[in-house]
A and B are shown apart, each in its own frame.
Chain A
């Protein structure tokens, strides 16, 4: 009923850890004196990060979800400035009827602008548009010293780069300004192609990335043998025909998962049955249709609190990227290991990242193949599989996405993000997160000879 952030948790509802207290922020000119706080601080809004990068055990969660005011919008250029707690959903509601769309959007619109910057989120158009941070022109950063800094590609450049993808550790983003992209209407022309192997995915992806702004594939991660990597490839563009230009997208009824599912509901058998059915549900090899943007970008947002499907124990996501060099073989190896372990779920997506560089120092996306999947939290079994996957990713020069992580070792993180040494001095000394404390534990350096 109430949108009360009394008990911050992350989307995966794992780990179950609590801040010492929550301090709400209602106005951007009225922030509590952070320097006088004894505990370490971390901004928090809607808790859409999956693991512990938005959690701050024993510290202060600074709840910025009330900072939801727009500041300015230039209808001619699409330049939008708003407070950091504004959600992408609120932006779309305002700007789509006026012919403007988000330059980059993740798979949920219920993230805050501050969170989109702090995690430098990406979407189905990464191969052409890069990350969210690529479109940010400036923001105001409040440091615990009370200093308010305007950061942009030309002012406070280091902090600009550190804050994009900086996991909320460099201070509080109070507002941000970024460029939207013009659209003629709220519809997407999409095509969904059933494909039967990872090899075929590579081919379709190669031939699509030129002509389609949005590409992504759903993968049946429990398929095995020759069928490894099979799935449904989705590609789309904003519909530009005059016939659809003036039309409004229909409003859809939203559903909610009202309770935690018992843990036996999602198991290997039910998921395998679902995946097989979903894969074969599309009879034609390829279908084309025109759909509103909502179901295309945010199929899961229409089911509120879908994370409760995974029961009380919560779930974990694993998203990695591996470079194009040997990318096919490495991804095949990863998919085989997941299939063999019998873990994994129906939410598995595969995409090719492009080479648009992000200004973000600690940004996750890089050119290569990225795979993201949900896993029920089966304790040790799941953690062991992740550790095994990490080893493969590490050995092949890949990386794992902090926004979705709840368990990677300090050793893995420091291998994935060697630039963290450059980032660390830019952290605000009053800021920290459970994630950051975990991944910056000292790592034993192997001594040669």
Chain B
């Protein structure tokens, strides 16, 4: 199996990558920090990955996406699984005070993903098989005061993927929207951990399984589907008064 993972040092992506490595996959990993990327690559080799190539790139450099994907697809000689997992959980308060900060968050979590998807979609459409998976978030299901900039970016991703799924279904390509709830990762290190926090390991495994099964939309853990159903059902005139 040929697997390309973008944002491979993110906790959820790494856990999913471990599952692919155990299957003996050929892997191509992309991340921003060279040292972290190398330690993930070493780990996946020990765990059984057939071969692991890496590329260090800051994904906010949109004009380098084309050559990145070209190199990855040719190095892997095809691509069965593409997982896009990079992102940042910015400081909502800072965003409210700065347009530049808001746009930076939006580039990290949305524009860069759409850029990658636009290029990759054409490749997969021609290849006529494979799975494109993106880590979106339950935060995109409804805007809340505590993180609506992040939520907006994720909502855009979810809508984009919906359309892409519709388009690529005809080519036999699966498009998977992954909506994790709160996960215990470095991204959430500063948040207080409640009961609903899931381990990156269980969520990563869920990502791997959903990709292999060619699913459309998954909530991870699955009970978030119920939670978000309720959250979406609250009438706006009540919702707007809640502290969420």
Mark A residues whose CB is within 8 Å of B. 1-4, 6, 24, 26-30, 66, 69-73, 82, 94
Contacts and interface: CB of A to CB of B under 8 A. Distances in A.
B6 to A, nearest CB: 19
Contacts of B42: 69-72
Nearest to A82: B46
Interface stretch (B59-67, B72-80, B86-94, B190-198): B190-198
Contact of A2 (B11, B43, B46, B199): B199
Contacts of A29: 35-36, 39
Contacts of A82: 46
Nearest to B48: A94
A377 B134 CA distance: 51
B196 to A, nearest CB: 8
Interface in B37-56: 39-40, 42-43, 46-47
A162 to B, nearest CB: 27
A4 B184 contact: yes
Contact of B198 (A2, A24, A28): A2
A28 B184 contact: no
A74 to B, nearest CB: 10
Nearest to A175: B39
B102 to A, nearest CB: 27
B186 interface: yes
Contacts of A2: 184, 193, 197-199
A322 B58 CA distance: 60
Nearest to A73: B46
B99 interface: no
A118 to B, nearest CB: 22
Contacts of B40: 69
26 contacts: A1-B195, A1-B197, A1-B199, A2-B193, A2-B197, A2-B199, A3-B184, A3-B199, A3-B201, A24-B189, A27-B35, A27-B39, A28-B39, A29-B35, A30-B36, A66-B186, A69-B39, A69-B40, A70-B43, A70-B46, A70-B47, A71-B46, A72-B42, A72-B46, A82-B46, A94-B46
Interface residues of B, number: 19
A2 B196 CA distance: 8
Contact of B186 (A6, A26, A28, A69): A26
Interface of B: 11, 35-36, 39-40, 42-43, 46-47, 184, 186, 189, 193, 195-199, 201
Looking at chain B's contact residues, the main secondary structure is helix
Contacts of A73: 46
A69 B35 CA distance: 13
A112 to B, nearest CB: 16
Nearest to A24: B189
Given A2-B184, A69-B39, A70-B47, 11 more contacts: A1-B195, A2-B197, A4-B184, A4-B193, A26-B189, A27-B35, A29-B35, A69-B40, A70-B42, A71-B39, A94-B47
A70 B196 CA distance: 29
Contacts of A69: 39-40, 42-43
Most buried by A among B40, B193, B198: B193
A82 B47 CA distance: 12
Most buried by A among B39, B46, B201: B46
Nearest to B40: A69
Contacts of B36: 27, 29-30
B43 to A, nearest CB: 4
A82 B35 CA distance: 15
Contacts of A3: 184, 199, 201
B193 to A, nearest CB: 4
B198 A1 contact: yes
Contacts of A28: 39
Contacts of B47: 70, 94
A414 to B, nearest CB: 40
Nearest to B39: A69
A2 B191 CA distance: 13
Contacts of A72: 42, 46
Contacts of B35: 27, 29
3 interchain residue pairs of minimum CB distance: A70-B46, A69-B43, A2-B197
A342 B159 CA distance: 68
A27 B38 CA distance: 11
A351 to B, nearest CB: 33
Nearest to B221: A1
Given A2-B193, A24-B189, A71 B198 contact: no
Contacts of A1: 195-199
Contacts of B184: 2-4
A191 B96 CA distance: 69
B159 to A, nearest CB: 30
B9 to A, nearest CB: 8
Given A26-B186, A29-B35, A6 B43 contact: no
Nearest to B187: A26
B224 to A, nearest CB: 13
A18 to B, nearest CB: 16
Contacts of B196: 1
B88 to A, nearest CB: 15
Given A70-B47, A71-B46, A94-B46, A4 B39 contact: no
A1 B198 CA distance: 6
Nearest to B41: A69
A30 B186 CA distance: 12
Contacts of A6: 193
Contacts of B195: 1
Contacts of B43: 69-71
Contacts of A71: 39, 42-43, 46
A27 B39 CA distance: 9
Contacts of A27: 35-36, 39
A141 B11 CA distance: 25
Contacts of A66: 186
A66 B201 CA distance: 11
B189 to A, nearest CB: 6
Contacts of A30: 36
A72 B156 CA distance: 41
B29 to A, nearest CB: 13
A30 B197 CA distance: 24
B197 A4 contact: yes
